[in-house]
A and B are shown apart, each in its own frame.
Chain A
Amino acid sequence: MLKASDLKITFNPGTPIETRALQGLSLEIPTGQFVTVIGTNGAGKSTFLNAVSGDLPIDSGSIMIDDADVTRLPVWKRATRVARVFQDPMAGTCEDLTIEENMALAQCRGTSRGLGWAVKSNQRDFYREQLARLGLGLENRLSDRIGLLSGGQRQAVSLLMAALQPSRILLLDEHTAALDPRTADFVLELTRRIVTEKQLTTMMVTHSMRQALDVGDRTVMLHQGQVVLDVSGEQRKGMKIPDLLEMFETVRGEKISDDALLLS
């Protein structure tokens, strides 16, 4: 369970370029729920996600994961509870390390790292098995540098890596945005499969309304650093993009004019 209460973040306070990125954002995600987060550019999606992961310090408010207050914990300490896939395929994996080394690194997430071999032979079999499920032929390339893989392949491996260790919440940061449409669909399908199979509590930030309504069981829309729409259950079933837009207009009394959001 994730519980974010009254989060506030202001960039460059007291200067002409002051930006109030989060303005009292509150959101609760119960265990096992898959939430998609949508919003226009500058709505605070990425800021919110980075606040949860610990990459950005918050000015006020609190973040609870299960019963633990993680508000002041650095990123690496939150990693016992938080798994993450980055938007940039290059950011989520270690270019200089091999596929198996990257997976070994992820399998140690949140555990203490000692002087045992990073990749043992029984683990290698496990990794091979996991990679085989992707159907990308990566199971035969365990000792290849991950830098040799394409963006889509790296993103798929990142997803596998995020699920190697149990987490209390999985953060997906527009993780298909940098991929071509076919690869994006593949990675999204994989996401759905892994999240369902492992029953992960998940928060997926996306820039595509279609994606936001297609996957997961709840959609949250951010606007000016706050939650403005929150749909789930019966209401969300069969919902189309125009319905969501209309809801937004009723709530805010203004129209959305972000082409990227409407067209993707």
Chain B
Amino acid sequence: MSWFSFFGALEIGLIFSLVALGVFISFRLLRFPDLTVDGSFPLGGAVGAVCIASGMDPFLATLLATIAGAIAGVITALLNVYLRIMDLLASILMMIALYSINLRVMGRPNIPLIMEPTVFTVLQPEWLADYIGRPLIMIAVVLLAKLALDAYFATQQGLAIRATGSNPRMARAQGVNTGAMIILGMAISNGLVGLAGALFAQTQGGADISMGIGTIVIGLAAVIVGESILPSRRIFMLTLAVVLGAVVYRFFIAAALNSDFIGLQAQDLNLVTAVLVTIALVIPLFKQRLARRRSL
């Protein structure tokens, strides 16, 4: 693997680690199977790209994209909490609705960002190459997001969100408004995903209507891979694991893309990725068996 593809994988992995953090909040903390992600990721990209293309400050555009993602999450949660639509179904409804909304936002299937200033071009010093500068900026962004989440989930409100996912009946008995906590948690989750979408559009040269396809799969795979390489119950370690999982997953894809030397071709990408992820998932099992054999 060349340095170029190494930094490329790192950059995209870090962007998707924001998605993974969002998915971790919905699936793991709230236990809300949320597919909205497939729509809120391109929504973030669309809002970000449209705003930047119209000459808006890229930071403000990215903030608006984050808010747009959060609103999508809120609507999914409202469908579930107030209209009593099953969680998975509510998120599927929102996901398909967002496809049309994203087309409306963009006005066409894609919006290129080639010469426009992005948060990366603004932050990056002249002397540093793009492909190194962007992942470095992403490391800072992800670290900030991770630490902010760690802190938040140690506050009274954060604890109430975790209790809502873990034992809603007990949470209510302790005076937690569980419906409000689901809405809040889903806003944070999809806000992160919207942010990731906006950053993705800014690194990949534009937003595209199909950029959201499979986002939830990547996010979930990242969460599961992360949990399997770094098993823990503490929020600090869990968020770290999720971030690592997203980066590792991206390296799997990069490895798969670079596996032509053993006769594999581009169309084998998904198969190779699946095999590599499977290996990452069964490693803990083998570790256990090995440990058991040693102790005998």
Contact = CB atoms under 8 A, between A and B. Distances in A.
Interface residues of A, number: 34
B177 interface: yes
Interface string A85-99: 010000111111100
Contact of A79 (B155, B163, B172): B172
B158 A118 contact: yes
Nearest to A101: B159
Interface string A74-86: 1111011010101
A117 B155 CA distance: 4
Interface in A138-197: 145
Contacts of A239: none
A114 interface: yes
Contact of A75 (B156, B163, B173, B233): B173
Contacts of A116: 155-156
A86 B163 CA distance: 16
A79 B169 CA distance: 12
B176 A97 contact: no
Contacts of A119: 154
B204 interface: no
A48 B158 CA distance: 33
A45 interface: no
- The secondary-structure label for the interface of chain B is helix
* Most chain B CB neighbours (cut-off 10 Å) among A105, A108, A117: A105
A51 interface: no
Contacts of A93: 167, 170
A119 B153 CA distance: 11
Interface residues of B, number: 23
B183 to A, nearest CB: 14
A111 B157 CA distance: 11
A76 B156 contact: no
A115 interface: yes
A190 to B, nearest CB: 19
Contacts, number: 89
* Most chain A CB neighbours (cut-off 10 Å) among B159, B163, B166: B159
Contact of B176 (A76, A80, A92): A76
Interface string A48-76: 00000101000000000000000000111
B178 interface: yes
Contacts of B170: 86, 91-94
Contacts of A32: none
A220 interface: no
B134 interface: no
B171 to A, nearest CB: 7
B84 to A, nearest CB: 14
B174 A108 contact: yes
A111 B172 CA distance: 13
A104 interface: yes
Contacts of A75: 172-173
A203 to B, nearest CB: 15
A91 B170 CA distance: 6
A118 B159 contact: yes
Interface of A: 53, 55, 74-77, 79-80, 82, 84, 86, 91-97, 101, 104-106, 108-111, 113-119, 145
What 10 A-B pairs have minimum CB-CB distances, sorted nearest first? A79-B175, A113-B156, A75-B172, A118-B159, A96-B166, A109-B175, A110-B175, A94-B166, A76-B172, A109-B174
